[in-house]
Chain A
């Protein structure tokens, strides 16, 4: 089972942070290039991500989606602590790679602004449903396996 282990200075303060690579999905790239071999497909981007068991779905900051040059392929209503009524957000189709060669293809992620600096992505339970997450608070370490 592929896995990676992250260690941070203080899990209480910073949370389970990991640098991921996010790219247009291979399905998108292959299909678009099949009809137009010269089509420009964005290279994978590095982005700091937080593993968030409080998030139903995976979220990516709009600036990352813009840099990937993707168009929306869906829409989903979301609730956050400050919403009164559900808010429709666009969905985008990406591949996500974690360190140590752990990758997750065909993720359909929510595009929404993340209010905290230095985090470009929340890894939500839609991805975690395929994983084993081990959180060892007293040594500031976490492991995710797929």
Chain B
């Protein structure tokens, strides 16, 4: 595996998610939240519904759809095919 740092380009949205996480856990645990910039747009039962709403609102521009959970376990990759 080669060293090639990747970083999310949704830093602002991730910060918004972190700021609202406790409030979202109280009212929308297990659901999907749609965030654009500093705005929490809405929560959805289904991820695709959240994505479609994001496309309607923002077109082909970055937005964040994220599942509201207590702890987000990282995805694991055991092979050396993936660079980072």
Contacts and interface: CB of A to CB of B under 8 A. Distances in A.
A, B bound: yes
Interface in B59-84: 59-66, 72, 74-84
Interface of B: 1-10, 13-14, 47-48, 51-52, 54-56, 59-66, 72, 74-84
A75 B8 contact: yes
Interface residues of A, number: 48
Contacts of A69: 60
Contacts of A75: 8, 10, 13-14, 64, 66
Contacts of A39: 59-60
A22 B40 CA distance: 30
21 contacts: A31-B55, A31-B56, A32-B60, A54-B78, A55-B79, A70-B60, A71-B60, A72-B64, A78-B77, A78-B82, A79-B76, A80-B1, A80-B77, A89-B6, A90-B6, A106-B48, A111-B6, A113-B82, A115-B4, A122-B77, A122-B81
A25 B55 CA distance: 11
A81 B78 contact: yes
A50 interface: yes
Given A77-B72, A81-B78, A72 B9 contact: yes
Given A27-B55, A76-B75, A79-B77, 11 more contacts: A25-B51, A27-B52, A35-B59, A39-B59, A73-B62, A73-B65, A78-B74, A80-B84, A88-B8, A106-B48, A115-B2
B82 A55 contact: yes
Nearest to A76: B75
